[in-house]
Amino acid sequence: MLFSVPSVSPWPIKYRIIMKKIVTIVGARPQFIKAAVISRLIRDEYSDRFNEILVHTGQHYDQNMSDIFFEEMDIPKPDINLETGSGLHGQMTGRMLEKIEEVLVDKKPDLVLVYGDTNSTLAGALAAAKLHIPVAHVEAGLRSFNMKMPEEINRILTDRVSSWLFCPTDTAVTNLKNEGISGKQNNSEPVTSDNPVVINIGDIMLDASLYYREKLESVKPGVEIPEKDFILCTLHRAENTDDPERLRSILGALNEISKDIQVILPLHPRTKNKIAQLSAGHSSLFINNSSFEIIDPVGFFDMLRLENACSMILTDSGGVQKEAYFFKKPCVTMRDQTEWVETVEAGWNVIVGADKDRIIGAVRSYRVPQEWPVLYGNGDTGTGILDVLFN
């Protein structure tokens, strides 16, 4: 007697799916915001396919990461906090390596997921690679081509040991190809760091920006938005704040620009102290215009409000450059290079360094481009990442 084989398995789908265990490594508040996109998807839509363990290295102590932060941002609290603290780069990375390795030996994940370019990113990738655990890197392939930036070193090393390289742009894919990382060459072989998946998956921060923009109305404002036009400025990068000449030049430019239009600068206490040291306690040497307003640091939602309401953004932040583009705001970047070259090529971003005259000139001569090309995907990057990892 012949037996026919049913064309459809008699077992329900949930019994045929093999769960994958992910350890996600984050170390700073911006990484939590990025990781939350994936964590929410796992919790809401992929719970039958993935089990995630969220590990916070404690690289940046942030008093704003209170219960209300996790509640408002709809972010799962870390399952493990390593509390490594700050310090010199080697010291921090070494402590993280040791503690992350202990977690990975104990939890035995199928893969480790890392974001961006912090010391936590590098430590997570190295710890996993040395234990032969595959690494997935979100925001792979970004390059400033400035090896003096610690972030550049972290990016390059993390990309080299990753098995999945999730790039936010075509430029990032090209950067990897130029370094000899061109993607999976042998489809019959498993995914490894020598046979990796390289894909332009879009930008995870676009997913986050769209999600949190919808929640703005439900979160009480913590900042007053001016009714007239204003420029939003952020200033935190060490290459600017730790160099007296660059800092003096930038402040002089902002003070001059504020004669034409209000400038709002949310400023971290560390940068405030640098300004105080530079001016011997007399900040009026650099800030002598009432339209130049320095305010305390703002939370993520208030930053979105300011970005949405402003006329232009001046920044030395990588993330804020992208958010400016998401909000269709002109951006003047006070750095010598940028990882987000697409925004420059599209005409929405101008790189001026720390030169006073170039900053003032860029602001006063800027003309908004007529076109706004789609550069960073459609806001479904998180879903794409999880589908690739599972399949």
Pick the more confident residue, 90 or 253: 253
pLDDT digits (tens, 9 = 90+) for 165-185: 999 999 999 999 999 998 877
Tell me the pLDDT tens digit for each residue of 5-27: 444 444 454 445 688 999 999 99
* 263-302 pLDDT, tens digit each: 999 998 888 888 888 877 555 556 667 899 999 989 889 9
Active-site residue identified among 60, 89, 236, 268:
236
Q: Does domain 13-203+378-390 have CATH number 3.40.50.11890?
A: no
Query: In 3-state terms, what secondary structure has residue 169?
Result: coil
DSSP 283: G
Q: CATH assignment of 216-365, given 3.40.50.2000, 3.30.470.20, 3.40.50.2300, 3.40.50.300?
A: 3.40.50.2000
Mean per-residue pLDDT for 251-274?
Answer: 92
Report the C-alpha gap between 278 and 340 in whole angstroms: 31
Task: Give the per-residue pLDDT at 188.
Answer: 79
Contact between 388 and 196 under an 8 Å Cβ cutoff? The reply is no
Give the HSE-up count for residue 185: Cα atoms under 13 Å, Cβ half-sphere.
7
- pLDDT for 266 equals 94
Q: What is the DSSP letter of 285?
A: G
Position 52 scores a pLDDT of 97
Whether residue 282 lies in the annotated active site: no
Give the integer Cα–Cα distance in Å for 222 and 273.
23
pLDDT score recorded for residue 62:
57
Position 65 scores a pLDDT of 55
**What strands, in cross-sheet order, belong to the sheet with 80-81?**
80-81, 50-56, 20-26, 111-115, 135-138, 164-167, 197-200
Task: Read off the pLDDT of residues 200-226 as tens digits, 9 standing for 90 and up.
Answer: 999 999 999 999 999 998 888 999 999
Instruction: Please write the tens of the pLDDT for every residue from 111-159.
Output: 999 999 999 999 999 999 999 999 999 999 999 998 988 899 999 999 9
d(CA 103, CA 84): 14
pLDDT at 55: 96
pTM of the model: 0.86
- On the question of a common fold for 13-203+378-390 and 216-365, the answer reads yes
pLDDT at 11: 45
Per-residue pLDDT, 16: 54
Percentage of residues in the chain having pLDDT higher than 70:
91
With beta carbons less than 8 A apart as the criterion, state whether 257 and 264 touch: no
Of 99, 101, 97, whose CA–CA distance to 109 is shortest? Answer: 101
Measured in residues, the chain has a length of: 391
Confidence of residue 3 (pLDDT cuts 50, 70, 90): very low
Beta-bridge mates of residue 262: 230
The pLDDT > 90 percentage for the chain reads: 71
With H, G, I as helix, E, B as strand and everything else as coil, classify residue 371: coil
The residue ranges of every structural domain in the chain are 13-203+378-390, 216-365
Residue 1, pLDDT score = 37
Q: Do 236 and 214 touch, CB atoms closer than 8 A? A: no
pLDDT above 60 (res 42): yes
Query: For residues 248 and 182, what is the distance between their CA atoms, to the nearest angstrom?
Result: 43
Q: What is the DSSP string of 183-222?
A: --S-TTSPPBTTB-EEEE---HHHHHHHHHHHHGGGS---
Q: pLDDT tens for residues 183-193? A: 877 777 899 99
Max distance between CA atoms of the chain, in angstroms, equals 97
Helix axes 119-130, 89-107, angle to 10 degrees: 40
The mean predicted confidence, pLDDT, of the chain is: 90
Half-sphere exposure of 86 (CA within 13 A, CB side): 4
The beta strands (E) that lie in 95-178 are given as 111-115, 135-138, 164-167
CA 381 to chain centre: 14
- Exposed, middle or buried by CB within 10 Å (0-12, 13-18, 19+), for 105? exposed
CA distances from 117 to 98, 274, 352 (A): 19, 25, 23
